[in-house]
Structure 1
Amino acid sequence: MKKIDKTDAPTKLEAYRRLRPTAKWEKFVDKTNRRKQAQNHIKGDQGGLCAYCEINLKNADENGKADFRVEHFHPKSDYSTVHNWHLDWQNLLGCCHGGSQANVVEAGERHSSPDHSCDVPKGNENWDDVILNPLNIPHTPILFSFNRTDGAISLNNDNCDQVGVDKVKAQATIDNLRLDSDRLRRLRKAALDNVNDSLKELIAEGMKIEDARSRLARGLLRKNDQDHWPAFFSSLRDYLGSAAEHQLTDIGYIG
């Protein structure tokens, strides 16, 4: 999980909410143009990554359905107050299917039922006070650490202490969203192996390790021509260490 810098609500959602303040999400997305604008806006705010696990969100193609869906962080089914969680822009996140869909794009890599993650185990639970909300965490320092040898995720306790992040809630984020699932470990390990191989190649060519890390950070930790971050951004950031932090400072990274 990384910081999401949420921008203003898309125009069609804002206009619809003002016209029909008690309407449900399902009615809003009935219209293709409204649905697409909201989905694209969500993906743009998140740099093309799942709000929870940071896998790259995929559009549908001839080989499968999109690995993307809209998640309501606070359950939209909560009618205990007059607040309409359905249409609250700050409540909408973009997620992958968490390994639950057999007909998703790249299903061989992404489908791992019953090894589910992200909003699949969350379901309709109200975890507002249980897990971290990616809209409300700091963009720096990184709150999690990653093991290159197996792709495991753990807390960066020192960094959590530095910025006053509740470590119990941060650990619950890993546990409850199953961010350390076998599938996600495998995918993160592959991403980390790739950058490690690139680092070794640069060193073999005679480059100093600090310079090699800096080159990789400049090449990897930036948005591409689609305005997307690399998949498993935080894993790469953690692996590249201080070189990553220098790069993110240089580009004015805020989430």
Structure 2
Amino acid sequence: MATLVSPGVAVSVIDESFYGSAGAGTVPLIIVASSQDKADGTDSTATAGYTTSATAIKPHLITSQRELLQQYGKPYFKSVSGTVQQGYETNEYGLLAAYSYLGAANRAYIMRADVNTSQLEPSSTEPTSAPPNGAWWWDLGNTTFGLFEYKQVSVESSAWVAQTVTIPTATATDITGGNVPEAAFGSNGDYALVPYTLAGVPLTAPSYYKKDAGAWATVESGNSGITAVWVRPHYDPPAAPNVGDVW
């Protein structure tokens, strides 16, 4: 109660309002995705403790913004020439939301997904992580592959002639849903190798094809005028081949 006194006047202000006491607040669970093994966000050289693979998919109680930076590192946002790339797939929006919340509260559970968003960054080098079972990586710049066809090279002689083998792109223009080159791809007499599906998924058993009369057929005996197919080392050519054989 407050009493205001002035000459000849006395005013009393009585507050008779009432309200229930505030209940205990709900502690939120914030799930974040970030790069793995980030640096401590408090300018330390240590690794942020909760960004390791062993601590992923586990909720941790964080009680301050400083603790959040220590355990999860600074929120990362992709920047190009000083301009933040909004909506970029490696931006750590969840971590920024947690940081903002802890500016007004002092308790939040944070759980990091078991992903490493830094692996989403483009790279000019070949992949080095463990590939999924059955995956193929074709290093076309350093790999030599192909085949020979036994042909009549003159009236009196025949020889193995190296054939150019092309690889269709993983598009509906070049490959059918059955993983066979499209009829419009290549010319009669061409050879092709299909190492992946139309969706770009590597095949466990890539196949060679030859185009004959406007259609592609697998390289095997009886198809496209092929009399026999040989699979041998380059230093050991087949003996007594016939015209039309493929090696």
Determine which structure has the larger strand proportion and give its number.
Answer: 2
User: TM-score normalized by structure 1?
Assistant: 0.20
Q: Give 1 or 2 for the bigger CA radius of gyration.
A: 2
User: TM-score normalized by structure 2?
Assistant: 0.20
